[in-house]
């Protein structure tokens, strides 16, 4: 009799599970699809939410600190001297003499005007990544105002270098970039899923509020989470897309895709006429995300003779229309290459024209003017600069800071929602695999196709999705084992 009761209980448990699956399967396909989207949205929030929070917080710190950096390094960036400027050649010589060792000259950023220093930048093998050893020279007196590491096109200094590395890779090097790419890869998926869930449940949520449940803690956190998401939803897609363009793995795929469809930013050629080169197809324009690239190679072959050509190259570039106050002069690495002069003012209006100059003849051999860029290239340039908080100055910074803090709060409210509705110990497991299995075959096939396609295009998303599936499958299997054990013990 006892064995019979055990068998009856076991059969009852099995029938109950089959009944639940059948009830779910009998629901409308759209309802089943929404259940799958809701579970995926939950998984992204639980597993990726902390990385999104860190990326948003560190990004906010980065965009809020330009003025602090200007104040902190005021001595190096400015000078009280007034008068006639010395030549660039003399300023470079003063910078070289201040160094304890002979370093290869990388670039020069002339003073932007009276009261500002000139940056003479050297390749220092002791520095990390794309950092330069930068000597700040008073253009009037040739006094050395200081030496600091600087980084990237923006020329950020040590304070913001650390914040940039924190945002980019948690100061863990190249492999640390997995975290930021993980956040950018899933952010737009979370935004899209949340938008769908809001749209399909808005009437039901309105009825809940009308019934006077607005004081319920879960309902209150959900309302805040949803309202904040609706306010910044366009920013979520924008930040995700622009962040992915300079990510390590997805970024390379995006670059190849842009190359294939012709969405390449125009750039100058540094090949000199009459010189054969095996690199004729390479562009001289610095990548839009040079801040995140590897360290330049070749610190040998220092040619001090080039120092005297900077003034002539600058004059040739000015005569060719390079009129921005902020610009950078990059000497040729080999005699068969042209010098590179580019505007680096990313504020509005954008000044990023560039020219290649033959330093022997002092003539411009190639140019790329932002005015003639295709619309897509302009949008990419503006998008990147807006992401970094430099396009519109302080308004851009404040908007990004508000966005970042709102996103942080969304993650917090999401966790509070989960905590209020967390399942009690021993409750049946709710898994992504379960919601997928009860969907119609067509929906399941489409979900797999989309997942594989996105996984190949966005590798970090693909690997993390596999981890989601493994964890989910283990939970699903364990739930089945618990049910069997419980049935056998009755």
Helix (H) or strand (E) holding 365: strand 363-368
Structure confidence at residue 12 (pLDDT): 40
What residues pair up with 345 in beta bridges, in sequence order?
351
First to last CA, the chain: 13
Q: Is the pLDDT of residue 10 over 50?
A: no
**pLDDT (mean) for 105-111:** 97
Would you call 69 exposed, middle or buried from its count of C-beta atoms within 10 A (0-12, 13-18, 19+)? middle
Residue 101 to residue 98: CA distance in whole angstroms: 9
Q: Which of 59, 60, 294 is nearest to 180 (CA)?
A: 59
- The 8-class DSSP code of residue 48 comes to I
Q: How many CB atoms neighbour CB 285 within 10 A?
A: 20
Would you call 199 exposed, middle or buried from its count of C-beta atoms within 10 A (0-12, 13-18, 19+)? exposed
Q: Within the chain, how many helices (H) and strands (E) appear?
A: 16, 8
- The 8-class DSSP code of residue 283 comes to -
Residue 231 to residue 234: CA distance in whole angstroms: 8
pTM comes to 0.86
pLDDT confidence band for 149 (50 / 70 / 90): very high
Residue 437 to residue 479: CA distance in whole angstroms: 15
Distances (CA, A) of 130 to 156, 224, 290: 11, 41, 8
Q: Which residue has the higher pLDDT, 278 or 101?
A: 101
Q: Which residue has the higher pLDDT, 485 or 264?
A: 264
Give the dihedral of Cα atoms 36, 41, 46, 47; nearest 10 deg: 90
CA-based Rg of the chain, rounded to a whole angstrom? 29
Domain ranges of the chain: 2-62+174-247+396-489, 74-156
Where do we find the tokens 């690199």? 279
Per-residue pLDDT tens over the stretch 195-215: 999 999 888 877 777 676 656
The secondary structure of 340-360 as a DSSP string is EEEE-B-SSSPB--EEEEETT
Can you list the alpha helix ranges (DSSP code H) found in 26-151? 29-43, 49-63, 66-72, 74-77, 88-97
Residue 179 to residue 55: CA distance in whole angstroms: 8
Lowest mean pLDDT among 71-85, 261-275, 355-369, 407-421: 261-275
Structure confidence at residue 422 (pLDDT): 82
* Crossing angle (nearest 10°) for helices 441-457 and 29-43: 30
Per-residue pLDDT tens over the stretch 308-336: 999 999 999 999 999 999 999 999 999 89
Backbone conformation region of residue 192, classed left if phi is above 0, alpha if psi is from -120 to 50, else beta: alpha
Residue 227 to residue 220: CA distance in whole angstroms: 11
Distances (CA, A) of 16 to 9, 11, 12, 487: 10, 8, 6, 11
Per-residue pLDDT tens over the stretch 286-295: 444 444 444 4
Structure confidence at residue 287 (pLDDT): 46
Mean confidence (pLDDT) of the chain: 87
What is the phi/psi pair of residue 91, to 5°? -65, -40
């Amino acid at each position: 009799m006892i064995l019979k009761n055990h068998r009856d209980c076991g059969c009852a448990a099995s029938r109950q599970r089959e009944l639940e699956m059948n009830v779910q399967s009998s629901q409308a396909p759209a309802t089943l699809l929404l259940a799958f989207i809701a579970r995926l949205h939950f998984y992204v929030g639980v597993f990726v939410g902390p990385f999104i929070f860190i990326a948003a917080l560190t990004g906010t710190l980065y965009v809020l600190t330009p003025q602090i950096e200007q104040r902190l390094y005021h001595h190096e960036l400015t000078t009280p001297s007034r008068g006639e400027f010395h030549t660039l050649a003399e300023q470079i010589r003063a910078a070289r003499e201040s160094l304890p060792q002979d370093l290869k000259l990388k670039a020069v950023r002339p003073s932007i005007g009276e009261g500002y220093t000139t940056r003479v930048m050297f390749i220092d093998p002791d520095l990390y990544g794309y950092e330069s050893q930068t000597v700040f020279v008073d253009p009037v007196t040739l006094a050395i105002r200081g030496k600091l590491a600087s980084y990237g096109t923006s020329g950020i200094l040590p304070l913001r270098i650390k914040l940039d590395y924190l945002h980019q890779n948690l100061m863990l090097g190249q492999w640390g970039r997995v975290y930021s790419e993980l956040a950018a890869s899933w952010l737009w998926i979370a935004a899209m899923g949340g938008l769908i869930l809001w749209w399909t449940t808005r009437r039901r949520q309105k009825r809940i509020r009308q019934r006077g449940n607005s004081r319920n803690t879960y309902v209150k956190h959900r309302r805040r989470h949803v309202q904040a998401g609706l306010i910044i939803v366009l920013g979520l897609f924008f930040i995700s897309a622009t962040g992915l363009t300079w990510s390590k793995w997805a970024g390379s795929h995006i670059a190849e895709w842009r190359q294939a469809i012709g969405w390449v930013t125009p750039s100058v050629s540094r090949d000199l006429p009459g010189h054969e080169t095996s690199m004729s197809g390479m562009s001289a324009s610095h990548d839009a995300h040079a801040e995140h690239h590897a360290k330049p190679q070749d610190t040998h072959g220092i040619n001090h003779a080039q120092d005297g050509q900077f003034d002539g190259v600058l004059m040739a570039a000015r005569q060719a229309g390079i009129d921005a106050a902020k610009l950078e002069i990059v000497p040729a690495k080999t005699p068969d290459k042209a010098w590179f002069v580019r505007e680096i003012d990313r504020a509005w209006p954008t000044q990023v024209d560039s020219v290649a100059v033959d330093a022997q003849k002092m003539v411009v051999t190639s140019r790329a003017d932002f005015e003639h860029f295709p619309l897509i290239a302009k949008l990419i340039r503006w998008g990147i600069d807006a992401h970094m908080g430099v396009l519109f100055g302080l308004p851009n910074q404040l908007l990004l800071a508000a966005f970042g803090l709102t996103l942080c709060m969304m993650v917090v409210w999401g966790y509070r929602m989960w905590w209020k509705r967390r399942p009690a110990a021993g409750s049946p497991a709710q898994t992504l695999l379960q919601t997928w299995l009860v969907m119609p075959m067509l929906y399941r096939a489409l979900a797999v196709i989309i997942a594989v396609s996105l996984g190949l295009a966005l590798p970090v998303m693909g690997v993390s999705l596999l981890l989601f599936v493994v964890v989910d499958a283990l939970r699903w299997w364990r739930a089945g084992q618990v049910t069997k054990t419980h049935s056998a013990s009755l």
